[in-house]
Each structure stands twice: as structure tokens, then as C-alpha cells.
Amino acid sequence: MTADTLRKLYVISILEGISLVVLIFIAMPLKYLYGIKVATLIVGSIHGILWLLFLYILNEARIKKLVNRSQLIKFFILSVIPFGFIPMKKSIYRD
């Protein structure tokens, strides 16, 4: 059960992180440089859903005591930083 929750956290952190990078570095330039507003609408919606799912699984890991308070704060901060998923995915199993 614990390995399953950590695996879910690992996978969702990668998906959420990639969606943030795509939103910031692809969709937002498409919107603001070329006027393609639908890019941020689609990618932003996907990213929002993935981020909420990430928070849900992170909370699930906290409830099961798989992450402590400092890890919880660290993972939360890394989730809002572009490319923060890279150190996060390395840290999930290491910590």
C-alpha cells in the first residue's frame, strides 16, 4: 500500500511538472506572442487538474505518514517551480 501511494506521487509529480513546463514555455508564448488563446485554455486546464490531483495524492501520502512536514512543504514548493519535478522525483524515494 505504501509503495503504491509513493508510486502514484512519483508519476503525478512528473506529469504535473511537465504540464507546468508546457504551460509556461509553450502555451503562454503562443497566447501572448501569437494570440492563440486556446493554447493556455487547454494546457492550463490540464495542468490545473493534474496539480489538484498531485495535491490530493500528496495529502494521501501525508495521512499515511509517508512524507513528513518538511517533505510536504518541499514537495509543495517544488510543484510550483518550473522543472521542480526533477529534484522532486529524485527525492520521493530517497527521503
The mean pLDDT of 16-44, rounded to a whole number, is 96
Q: In sequence order, what are the residues at sequence separation of 6 or more whose Cβ sits closer than 8 angstroms to the Cβ of residue 6?
A: 61, 66, 92, 93
The mean pLDDT of 30-35, rounded to a whole number, is 96
**Would the pLDDT of 86 be above 70?**
yes
Phi, psi of 84 (to 5 degrees): -70, -20
Q: How far apart are CA 28 and CA 21, in angstroms?
A: 10
- The candidate with the shortest Cα–Cα distance to 88, out of 21, 23, 10, 16, is 10
Q: How much is the pLDDT for 85?
A: 85
Q: How far apart are CA 47 and CA 70, in angstroms?
A: 24
The mean pLDDT of 39-43, rounded to a whole number, is 96
Q: How much is the pLDDT for 95?
A: 56
Q: How much is the pLDDT for 31?
A: 97
Other beta carbons within 10 angstroms of residue 54's beta carbon come to 25
